[in-house]
Amino acid sequence: MTTIEPMTLDRTWLQGSEKKPAPMPLLLVQAFVNTLDLEEGTDVLADADAARDWLTDASLLGQGVSASAAELSRAREVREALRWLLRREDETREAHEERLAPLRRLTETHRARLTLDDGGAIGLQSTRYQNLDDGLFELLLIVRQAQEDGTWARLKVCGNPDCQWAFYDRSRNQQGSWCDMSLCGNRLKNRELRARRR
CATH number for position 40: 1.10.3300
Instruction: Report d(CA 99, CA 96) in Å as an integer.
Output: 5
114 pairs with which residues across the strands? 124
Query: Which residues have C-beta within 8 Å of that of residue 115, sequence separation ≥ 6?
Result: 122, 123, 124, 125
What parts of the chain have a pLDDT lower than 70? 1-17, 183, 185-198
- Give the pLDDT confidence score for residue 2 in this predicted structure: 35
Residues near 159 by beta carbon (within 8 Å), at least 6 away in sequence? 177, 178, 184, 185, 188
Q: Is residue 85 part of a domain?
A: yes
The answer to whether position 7 is within a domain reads no
Euclidean distance between CA atoms 54 and 191, whole angstroms: 35
| Conformation bin of residue 114: beta by default, left when phi > 0, alpha when psi is -120 to 50 | beta
Return d(Cα 85, Cα 118) in angstroms, integer.
Answer: 33
Encode pLDDT of 35-56 as tens digits: 999 999 999 999 999 999 999 9
List beta partners, residue 43. 36
> So what's the pLDDT on residue 76?
98
Q: What is the pLDDT of residues 146-159, one digit of tens each?
A: 999 999 999 999 99
- Within-domain flag for 5: no
Q: Are 158 and 177 in contact (CB under 8 A)?
A: yes
| Count of structural domains within the chain | 1
| Residue-range definition of the domain harbouring residue 189 | 26-197
User: Which pLDDT belongs to residue 145?
Assistant: 96
Q: Does residue 156 form part of some domain?
A: yes
Question: What is the model's pLDDT at position 8?
Answer: 45
Residue 62 contacts residue 9 (beta carbons within 8 Å) = no
The helix/strand/coil state of 123 is: strand
17 inside domain: no
Q: What is the pLDDT of residue 185?
A: 56
Position 3 in a domain: no
Q: Tell whether 182 is covered by a domain.
A: yes
Q: Are 46 and 62 in contact (CB under 8 A)?
A: no
Is 15 part of any domain?
Answer: no
